[in-house]
Amino acid sequence: MKNKKQLKIFIGILFFCFLFVGFFCAINNKVSALEVSYPVISGENLNTDTNLTLPKYVLYLFNAGVFLGFFAIFISLVIAGVMYILSAVSAEARAEAKDRIVGAISGLLILVLTYLIITTINPQLSVFNLNSLPETPATTVAKTTPGVYFYKSSGCPPEKNAEVSTSNVPDLGKLKNQVHSVGIIQDPNTESYYITILYNNPGLWGKCQYITTDSTATTTCKPVTPFASSASVYKYDFHPEENNPPDGGVYFYRKSYWNNSGGYYFVSNDEIKNAGIYVHALDNPDSTLIFTGVPEDEQDCVGYDKDGTCISRTPPTLGGENISSVGIDGNYLVLFVYAKPGDDPIWSDCQEFPTTDDINKTGPQQIKWKSIRNNNGVIPNWVIIIPIQR
């Protein structure tokens, strides 16, 4: 009877250990197994499983426990058989052999009934599919609302982490360095066509990527290398000549505080309208972007006599550090860009005007090139003007 009780205790302990590990499995779906070599049981090889989860590990332990249980029963029956054969010389051995046989059969029944009870309560427990409770489906932003959508995954899939915006986002917050794709939904009925510029620094400056779509597409999805910390969002204006002052446009000045006595360069509504998006290089020696009204003594010397006296001068271009202020007369976005060869689609450095703290949207009265050099070490070599809606 003693052996029978011991076998029942062993089976009971195995059963409760199984229940405990199964409960732990229900609250944690991952496992970090000890780095040991495991035998192959029921076709499960933990040594080669690169995606080992806790349910798989518990199933392996359960199979191992069942195997050990049957093995213990088999050994107990073998010992009982030997004792029964030798019982002719010992009546006590015959009684102990009978008790061992009864205990082994009882243990076998308990082991089989345990498995049947578990699989009857929940058939999934037979394969230990003890995942956590399914999450409530996340409420996703309806992808029919016009705007710019930022996604943590590529391909612009519907997901709870997608955020939509129709205005500037100076700080992407939880999406910082997490944006893998950008979707844009346009509304042709109201001519609400959105554009966005992603920046690697909060506050809309630094390395940037410009994202838009053509006027014939109502939806677009662009892949993005995760780098963005902020994003500007605007509606494109197809009619800047109608929606801005008649003599509006963008002024570039050689002197600070919109002082035109040092010369200026003007880009009109019509020029921007005709270009769609006005894009020009600033550092091209043959650039047509040349200041007008520059005093002769402040012009660049292009010819000298034999004594080294300047005899020929020409107005400077807008390249280098020649622009000191920008006046924006109308609803325009002025983007200064430094792009080196190979910068596509991400440009090395960008600064947009007006800035978020320019409440009048009139542009910078002074551009501090020294600060720009200290922060980034480069001077913009391109200027982009985009007509936008306010």
The tens digit of pLDDT for each residue in 254-280 reads 999 999 999 999 999 999 999 999 999
Taking CB atoms within 8 Å and a gap of at least 24, the contacts of 66-71 are 66/111, 66/115, 67/41, 68/14, 69/10, 69/11, 69/14, 69/107, 69/111, 70/108, 70/111
Cis peptide before 345 (omega within 30 of 0): yes
* 67, pLDDT greater than 90: no
pTM value surpassing 0.85: no
Q: Which of 75-84, 144-153, 261-270, 374-383 has the highest mean pLDDT?
A: 261-270
pLDDT of 14: 54
* 49, pLDDT greater than 60: no
**How far from 60 is each of 14, 18, 121, 127, 152, CA to CA, in Å?**
14, 11, 20, 10, 36
The more confident residue out of 243 and 50 is 243
**Do residues 279 and 217 make contact, with C-beta atoms less than 8 angstroms apart?**
no
pLDDT digits (tens, 9 = 90+) for 5-48: 555 555 555 555 554 554 444 444 444 444 556 665 555 555 55
Q: Taking the CB of residue 188, how many other CB atoms lie within 10 A of it?
A: 12
The more confident residue out of 104 and 9 is 104
pLDDT of 139: 37
Extents of the domains making up the chain: 2-126, 138-194+204-229, 237-390
pLDDT of 129: 47
Considering the chain, what is the average pLDDT of its residues? 78
pLDDT digits (tens, 9 = 90+) for 52-62: 565 666 666 76
pLDDT digits (tens, 9 = 90+) for 155-196: 888 765 577 888 899 999 889 999 999 999 888 888 888 999
Rounded Cα–Cα distance for residues 368 and 378 (Å): 13
pLDDT of 331: 95
SS3 annotation, the chain: CHHHHHHHHHHHHHHHHHHHHHHHHHHCCECCCCCCCCCCECCECCCCCCCCEHHHHHHHHHHHHHHHHHHHHHHHHHHHHHHHHHHHHCHHHHHHHHHHHHHHHHHHHHHHHHHHHHHHHCHHHHCCCCCCCCCCCCCCCCCCCCEEEEECCCCCCCCCCCEEECCCECCCHHHCCCCCEEEEECECCCCEEEEEEEEEECCCEEEEEEECCCCCCCEEEEECCCCCCEEEEEEECCCHHHHCCCCCEEEEECCCCCCHHHCEEEEEHHHHHHHCCEEEECCCCCCCCECECCCHHHCEEEEECCCCCEEEEECCECCCCCCCEEEEECCEEEEEEECCCCCCCEEEEEEEECCCCCCCCCCCCCCCHHHHHHHHCCCCCEEEEEEEEC
Averaged pLDDT, 229-237: 93
pLDDT of 189: 82
The more confident residue out of 342 and 353 is 353
